[in-house]
Structure 1
Amino acid sequence: MDDLALTIGCFRYDTTQALFDGTTSVQGVDTTVETAATLPDIFERVIRGSGLDIAELGLTFYLRLLEAGTPLIALPVFPNRVFRHSCVYVNTGSGIAEPADLAGRTIGEFGTYGQDSGVWAKGILMDEHDFRPERSRWIIGGLEHPSPPFDFIPHPHPANVDITTAPAGRTLNDMLDSGEIDALFSANVPQCVLDGSPNAARLFPDFEPLERDYHRRTGIFPIMHTVVARRDLLATHPDLARRVYDAFTTAKNVAANRYRAHRRLYQVQSMVPWTNALVEHNHEQFPDDWWPYGISANRKTLDTALRYHYDQGLTQRRWQVDEVFEPTLLNT
């Protein structure tokens, strides 16, 4: 493969940093790794075929494309995973104190109805609190900057869910702060919350114990994003999928080993107070691997995500895990 050159697009996480700094790369391939200012910028590039051969892509974005037909195939690499009790925000004057209070309310969501954090938050609330998205009204828009819904993906949703677009010139952050929306499902913390506005707060202020309990009970660490590759590229180079998988896995393990070293080199690699206490706490709950890649270690989490997509009307049928990933990596 010495004559093969690839461009990879992904965000610069601890799990991918080794790809950016050259600590690891795709074996036998001239690899260029690029990022962007925002994740949707990366998603749009790979979906539009703008110079990326392999790229990080939101799982819900991929599933929408898969149903519509796509030249991309997913690899079981998951660089972005986040627990999602923390992503539901409410206007403090709305009277919303618990999930049941979301019924009949107006809720904002960034970019599309059913982006990754929203799918997981809705699904968890549906499983554990009898939440039903169709009982609420949904407004789609930009979080901190006015923007229309993403125009590079399909926007499926059930006919019985009331979905509209944010008014021109308005942001979901401002609408939450002013009370024009009662709640917001957002992967990013809205600026009004960061600024300490008395008008906005999390639905679950003490979210960490809830998320840890959810993980202990279910074994699920929600997967937000996967990595996709061009199908034609993998067809031409049959062992490339494994090489890409190995490169991302090595990069993830470099980050994991760095955190493990924190347990010995107390507060040497980070000056954030009590970093070691968090690493020790996490080690108790994730003793082996905080972020496993591959199918076998993630089958339950992936199957839950696919169920949520179907239950929320984002796919027309219930996809199975082995249908949506590169066949040569199903044994991982």
Structure 2
Amino acid sequence: MDTTPSALTIGCFRYDTTQALFEGGIDAKVTTAPTLPEIFERVIREHEFDVAELGLTFYLRLLDEGLPYVALPIFPNRVFRHSCVFVNTHAGITGPADLAGRTIGEFGTYGQDSGVWAKGILADEYGFAPERSRWVIGGLEHPAPPFGFIPHPHPARADVSEAPAGKALGAMLEAGEIDALFSANVPQCVLDGSPNVARLFPDFEPLERDYHRRTGIFPIMHTIVVRRELLTERSELARELYTAFSAAKDTAADRYRRDRRLYQVPTMVPWLDALVERNEEQFAGDWWPYGIEANRATLDTYLRYHHEQGLSERRLRVEEVFAPALLGT
């Protein structure tokens, strides 16, 4: 196998945190796909890339099943998740306690990364118990079976079923066929302003900011993985990749900071300067840290949620999940 740097293939989404890599910030072939699940499937089924983005739960579910990749503490996708719970406005759900006994949709699998975080946060903050609800797994805007390229563990006490044939979760939520939806993406019916759907927490930003201030947690969705054999063959590869991805992320952050002088005119988002300034104050200079120590509380919490929700047989430790060469980051 040719393991020179130019032979590396990288599959990841084109975020502002990774844009510089697509523009030549690394000596590798960097490609993407229309959707993230497509990248994940190509990694898991075909082992197509040398380096790739992978959802945390997708990686954790396969740790003991011979997936030939190891994770690096690089996190290109992270999102606060109070905002990802949607409800039918006629279901009588006015707060998290009202989710008990309801039928809730979830995209792709029971416990997608966004769902792990949302369930865990609601459990910690509001006493939500996922096993007290019924869960329906399917496609968001188009009918689709649960992901066929990963295992689907869930607690025996949890009532989990597939969406009916020909049914998509967004339309089911709008029609009242499910009471709520945990979704990484905003359903089209919400974007269209349907009066039949709303967020569980309509004013979510103050809640998410307060959650971050109290806990220090900025939820992580995805990590970067690399072929295990390449780390054996090239002892410095983990550090090289960490440096390259970190530089790409810092390039994006620096652009937002520089553009404050111009009131962010390279973008078309009004008041973006004010948002950048609020984030600078809240995140103390690094909105989006990579590495283990800056993210230990977030990672430990995710691993706890993953176990509590029946997605891993035991509570994993951070040191078991990431490449040893980068545990000191």
Query: TM tier, shorter chain?
Result: over 0.9
- Measured in 1, the distance between the counterparts of 2:28 and 2:265 equals 32
Q: Which residue of 2 aligns with 1:73?
A: 70
Q: What does residue range 173-322 of structure 1 map to in structure 2 within 5 Å?
A: 173-322=170-319
SS in 1 for 2:262: coil
Alpha-carbon distance in 1 for matches of 2:189, 2:91: 16
Contact preservation (8 Å) 1:9, 1:42: yes
* One-letter amino acid of the structure 2 residue matched with residue 6 of structure 1: L
Unaligned runs of 5+ in 1: none
Q: Is 1:130 aligned to 2:127, yes or no?
A: yes
Greater shift in the superposed pair: 82-91 or 41-50: 41-50
Aligned partners of 1:178, 1:320: CA distance in 2, in Å? 42
Corresponding residue of 2:152: 155
Calculate the aligned-residue CA RMSD, in Å: 1.0
- Give the unaligned 5+ runs of structure 2: none
Distance in 1 (CA, whole Å) between partners of 2:248 and 2:231 is 21
Q: Distance in 2 between matches of 1:182 and 1:3?
A: 50
Comparing 295-304 with 68-77, greater Cα deviation is found at 68-77
Structure 1 residues 72-91: aligned runs within 5 Å: 72-91=69-88
Amino acid at match of 1:263: R
> Which amino acid in the other structure matches residue 148 of structure 1?
P
Aligned to 1:95: 92
| Aligned residues between the structures | 327
Aligned partner of residue 107 in structure 1, secondary structure:
strand
Cα deviation digits, residues 176-223 of structure 1 (max 9, x gap): 000000000001000111111111000000000000000000000000
**1:286 Cα deviation from its structure 2 partner:** 1.2
Amino acid at match of 1:21: E
Alignment correspondent of 1:49: 46
Check whether the contact 2:87–2:180 (CA below 8 A) recurs between aligned residues.
yes
Following superposition, the deviation at residue 266 of structure 1 comes to 1.9
Alignment partner for residue 21 of structure 1, among 6, 23, 26?
23
Aligned partners of 2:256 and 2:264 also within 8 Å: no
Normalised TM-score (structure 1): 0.97
State the shift of 1:21 in Å: 1.2
Structure 2 residue 14 is matched with structure 1 residue 12: yes
Give the AA of the match of 2:281.
E
Q: What SS class does the counterpart of residue 56 from structure 1 fall into?
A: strand
CA contact (8 A) 1:67 1:315 kept: no
Identity %: 74
Measured against aligned partners, the alpha-carbon deviations of 1:164-183 in whole angstroms (never above 9, x if no partner) come to 00011110001000000000
Name the structure 2 match of 1:40.
37
